[in-house]
Every structure is written in structure tokens, then in C-alpha cells.
């Protein structure tokens, strides 16, 4: 299945599947997926992220390597590893399950990072939205850090 980020909407095989209301300065977003309202947020001071519905955390992305942009994602459908496999600024990522590559994430934008993910058909839209959001926020944070360091 293909998931794509287009103007704060996630498309699943070309159909709108999630909408994002970003809170950029708080590293959080309210996300509507399949009739549910999710809260995606940064979890603590490290590279960890969480997604909750009705105040209950359902999905976690735990940073396993801050320098290499790598996370272990624990979700109701299973556990995935997301790791950077291409270079900055047009970074690509691999999605692994059980050590095997099951998908990838790449940018469809040139000036901005607009991620598109090829994922297993079994990955629910909420989990795909969370993974795309985490990758997009991490790239945005790295870009901002690089820009501030160069001034």
C-alpha cells in the first residue's frame, strides 16, 4: 500500500485517510483517522514519540539511534524498525519487520520534505500516519538545526 503526505493530508492509495492539525512549536499534531482523533506527540527529551487515542498511548516510536535517525515502532499490528537508508537532505528510510525490508519512505518534494511510504498492506492507516509524521518531524528538526548551525 502507498501512503503519501500532501498538504497535511495523508493519502492511502490516492484516497484521503488522515488529516493533520500541526502544532509545530510543541512537536504535536491532532490527527483524524478513520473517525478517531489521535494525538501524535514527542515523548520526553530524547528521540521518542507517541500516539494516543482518548488519552491512552497506542503507538510508540523509540529512538534506537539519534544520530542515524532510527526508531523501533511498537503498534497494535506489530513492531517495525524505521531506519535512514539515504543521505540528507533527500533522506530515504527503510521499514523493516523481523529484520526484513517490508517498505520504504522517500520524499516526493524538492524544497520541502513530503514523505511517501510503501508499506505492508496489513499496516493500518493510523500507524502509517504516525510513522510518516515522525519521519517528517525528525527531518524538519534536523533541517532547522543545520540551518541554525550555519548562521
Q: What is the CATH number of the domain that holds 74?
A: 2.40.160
Return the minimum-mean-pLDDT range out of 30-34, 63-67, 107-111, 115-119.
107-111
Q: Can you tell me the distance from the alpha carbon of 70 to that of 122, in angstroms, rounded to the nearest whole number?
A: 22
- At 101 the pLDDT is 96
Q: Is the pLDDT of residue 144 over 80?
A: no
Instruction: State the residue range of the domain holding 59.
Output: 2-149
Number of domains into which the chain is organized:
1
Q: Is the pLDDT of residue 149 over 70?
A: no
Q: Can you tell me the distance from the alpha carbon of 151 to that of 26, in angstroms, rounded to the nearest whole number?
A: 24
Q: Where are the beta strands (DSSP E) in the chain?
A: 2-6, 9-12, 15-23, 28-33, 36-42, 49-53, 56-65, 70-75, 78-84, 93-97, 100-107, 115-118
At 68, is the pLDDT very low, low, confident or very high (cuts 50, 70, 90)? Answer: confident
Amino acid at each position: 500500500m502507498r501512503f503519501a503526505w500532501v498538504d497535511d493530508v495523508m493519502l492511502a492509495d490516492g484516497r484521503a485517510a488522515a488529516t493533520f492539525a500541526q502544532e509545530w512549536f510543541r512537536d504535536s499534531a491532532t490527527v483524524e483517522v478513520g473517525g478517531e482523533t489521535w494525538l501524535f506527540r514527542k515523548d520526553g527529551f530524547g528521540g521518542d514519540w507517541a500516539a494516543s487515542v482518548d488519552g491512552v498511548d497506542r503507538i510508540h516510536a523509540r529512538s534506537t539511534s539519534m544520530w542515524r535517525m532510527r526508531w523501533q515502532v511498537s503498534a497494535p499490528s506489530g513492531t517495525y524498525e524505521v531506519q535512514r537508508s539515504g543521505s540528507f537532505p533527500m533522506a530515504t528510510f527503510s521499514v523493516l519487520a523481523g529484520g526484513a525490508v517490508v517498505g520504504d519512505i522517500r520524499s516526493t518534494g524538492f524544497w520541502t520534505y513530503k514523505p511517501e511510504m510503501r508499506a505492508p498492506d496489513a499496516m493500518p492507516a493510523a500507524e502509517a500516519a504516525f510513522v510518516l509524521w515522525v519521519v517528517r518531524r525528525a527531518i524538519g528538526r534536523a533541517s532547522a538545526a543545520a540551518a541554525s548551525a550555519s548562521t
